[in-house]
Chains A and B, each alone.
Chain A
Amino acid sequence: MVDEILTIVLDGAIYASWLFIVALGLTFVFGVLKILNIAHGGIYALGAYSTATLVPIFYSLGMPEQLVILAMLVSALAVAIVITPIMERGILRRFYGQDEVLIVLVTYAIYLVLEDVQKLIWGMNSLYVSEPRELLGALEFGSLYYVGYDLALIGLAIFCGLFLWFVLNKTQSGKIVLAVIHNPEISGCMGVNINKVYLAAFFIGAFLAALAGSFTAPLISVQVGISVAVVIESFAVVIIGGLGSIPGAVIGALIIGMARAACVHKLPEAEIFIMYFCMAGMLIFKPKGLFQGAQARKI
């Protein structure tokens, strides 16, 4: 029984960590730019593809195995550096202030373009890059073995969440971002360069999406179509937690991760349904999510 509970908690935490890293970027971009970015899934896939491309090159250069994590970070960073100016400066900036539905459609169009970009660059074949997963060995918990890499994802998620919280709440730049979130017009009047803040916020969101893809690549076969489930599940997380809320993303990811793990172990028939059940329940009883506070009405 204890073994089983431990297994459910560990499985749930690993899944929630992955979900949180993906959803964190999505919720942050919404919080600052007020954009529900469906293309987030496409950036996740680009992160996975770039890692699957860069890591074999890294190994072929005979670099020390431990530094492969650095190569994965670089590949995520490269994706964010390339995609941010194209998406934020080139496309999204032209739609700020427009109807939210229109912006969602624009990001959906970008998502479709990114799917085709993946096909153009990498073709239809799957890529495998499972080597980094062997880096940390396996650990025994109860009667089961867990791969150290999977457990390290929990640490990565905690680090990402704490780092973003620290930057937003304890640094001057973060406070400027919070001011823009609260009221972009007044922040602009006070001398804040709104465009720069938007660009930086989008960069962070894109980096987090690419980072999630990059660290997921060793677990999966990287192929066209991997972004679909990611988009749906990260939306579920931010709907439960509240759009734009970082603590909300933590709780949303934990609720879905733990509920899913408990279902797989104890009630497998409900696994496919549980995420939608949580989401539907939240939409009925708290439509703005768990952590969406009261909003002041602007006159």
Chain B
Amino acid sequence: MNFFRQCLILTSSFLISLLTFVGISNADGHKGFKLGVVTFLSGPAAEPFGVPAWNGGKLFIKLLNEGKAPAPYNKIGFGGMKITAIPIDESGGATKQVQEFRNLVQRDKVDAVLGYVSSGDCMAIPSVADELKALTVLYDCGTPRVFEDASYKYVFRTAAHAAMDNIAIAKYLIEKGHDISSIAGINQNYAWGKDSWKDFSVSVKKLSPSSEIKNELFPKIFSGQYGTEISALMNSKAKVVHSSLWGGDLQSFILQAKPRGLFKRTQVVFSAGDHVMPGLGNKYPEGVILGARGQYGMMAPDTALNKWFYKSYMDEYGVFPAQPPYRMVQGLMGLKMAIEKAMETNGGKKPNKDEIAAAFKGLEFDSPGGLVQMRLGDGHQAIQPHAIGKTAKDKDGNITVTDIVRYKASCVNPPNGIKAVDWINAGFPGADC
């Protein structure tokens, strides 16, 4: 009987120890931060956008978890919580992405989602995010409509929208004395392309009312063949050709247009033209005016934070970072700052999504691309400084960016509460250049 009692006590003790251990393990698990990361990992947008962005994100998360990032990002992970990232492929369209988002939030129980390159996805996700009360950081997409047409409690965009890219290019053309008496455009037939062209053409018309629109082309996304469009652009004899093409479409357009002399006949401007430079190298044409959707890559500011990020990325991947990794890291930095700000007010506990959202609103933080201010969309949409430059060959014959002009965030972004296109139409009131 004694033996039976001893066995019972031993078994009970073992079970209690096991349960306690499991409990402790779970408690430890709650100290981590589960982050869903959505970007293009397959398809035509993967190589120029999704993969380098995730490379930057992966590297930064690793450095954060090791506590190796410089101040003010030197605290381990997010406020001491190690980050576990769940990467999700963004390809497949908005309907699939809404389902993937629900999976991340409801099945995987992530603490936040950071993602979305496609403007179409950025238009579809926010309403679902608010419905599920899921903290969501849009890190890349450009359409201004996300916070201009609606407002969301749990959604934030840590990068400036596309209006900045196109306003800055229009200003650059004027400041540098380019002939903008006639313009033409080739932009993809969806939210990003349409909005980019509208912002550019309206800005040019405002700055130079006599300017004439010669041609507006909207080929479908990922069409790959632009021979006919190049003929139409050359036939239009426009002085400036604007394009917000990106990824494989931009690469193919450049490869097809260069031997036909488009870049010699007219001044071509690419609002997001930097990210294909690492791949194309010296096949990139000279004399193109381009933006990087911020002060990124070859147009990044000479700051300690940028030097650290640029070098870390170069050391890890052997290629310089263009805009995509900058923007994902910018998103992670914004999220980290918001979480740590929320922890300062709640006594250092893991903050809930309402606390993080409250801290995120109106946040300002330093990034490798300069100061990011959550100023628009009632504190949910970032503005940031911008830079525009022109491609040229350096003394070794390599393509580089020269003639860089930097613009303050408040010079090329509308104030809070005004739609970008209304601000442009009104003549940029309150612009601080």
Contact = CB atoms under 8 A, between A and B. Distances in A.
Interface of A: 3-4, 7, 10-12, 14-15, 18, 119, 124-126, 128, 130, 133-134, 138, 143-147, 150, 218-221, 223-226, 228-229, 260-261, 264-265, 268-269, 271-272
Nearest to A268: B217
B259 A138 contact: yes
Contact of B234 (A10, A14, A144): A144
Contact of B260 (A18, A126, A146, A218): A146
Interface in B251-278: 251-252, 255-256, 259-261
Contact of B251 (A18, A133, A221): A221
A108 B224 CA distance: 22
Interface of B: 41-44, 46-48, 51, 189, 215-220, 222-225, 227-229, 231-232, 234-235, 248, 251-252, 255-256, 259-261, 279-280, 283
B252 A219 contact: yes
A18 B256 CA distance: 15
A265 B228 contact: yes
Contact of B231 (A11, A119, A220, A224): A11
A268 B218 CA distance: 7
Contact of B224 (A7, A224, A229, A272): A229
Given A126-B48, A134-B259, A224-B46, A272 B283 contact: no
Contacts of A126: 47-48, 248, 251, 279
A261 B259 CA distance: 20
Given A134-B259, A225-B43, 11 more contacts: A15-B227, A144-B260, A146-B260, A219-B255, A224-B47, A225-B42, A225-B222, A225-B248, A229-B223, A265-B231, A272-B189
A225 B44 contact: yes
Given A147-B260, A223-B248, A224-B42, A125 B47 contact: yes
- Give the 3 A-B CB pairs with smallest separation, nearest first: A221-B251, A11-B228, A225-B44
Contact of B235 (A119, A143, A272): A143
Contacts of A14: 227
Given A260-B228, A268-B232, A119 B248 contact: no
Contacts of A146: 260
Contacts, number: 118
B412 to A, nearest CB: 28
A271 B51 contact: no
Nearest to B41: A124
Contacts of A144: 231, 234-235, 260
B224 A226 contact: yes
A143 B234 contact: yes
Contacts of B232: 264-265, 268
A260 B217 CA distance: 13
B282 to A, nearest CB: 11
A143 B233 CA distance: 12
Contacts of B224: 220, 226, 229
15 contacts: A15-B225, A15-B228, A125-B47, A126-B47, A143-B234, A146-B260, A218-B255, A219-B256, A220-B248, A224-B44, A260-B228, A264-B219, A268-B218, A268-B232, A272-B220
B51 A124 contact: yes
Given A143-B235, A145-B260, A220 B228 contact: no
A264 B235 contact: no
A260 B224 CA distance: 14
Contacts of A218: 255
Contacts of A272: 189, 218-220
Nearest to A228: B222
Contacts of B47: 124-126, 223-224
A281 B42 CA distance: 34
Contact of A221 (B51, B227, B252): B252
Contacts of B279: 125-126, 128, 221
A119 B47 CA distance: 11
Residue of B43, B228, B260 most packed against chain A (CB within 10 A): B228
B255 A128 contact: yes
Contact of A220 (B42, B217, B255, B259): B255
A220 B252 contact: yes
Nearest to B44: A225
Nearest to A230: B224
A4 B215 CA distance: 14
A228 B223 CA distance: 9
Nearest to A146: B260
A268 B427 CA distance: 29
A220 B226 CA distance: 10
A229 to B, nearest CB: 6
A150 B248 CA distance: 20
Nearest to B235: A7
Contacts of A143: 234-235
Contact of A138 (B48, B251, B261): B261
Nearest to B259: A147
A3 B231 CA distance: 11
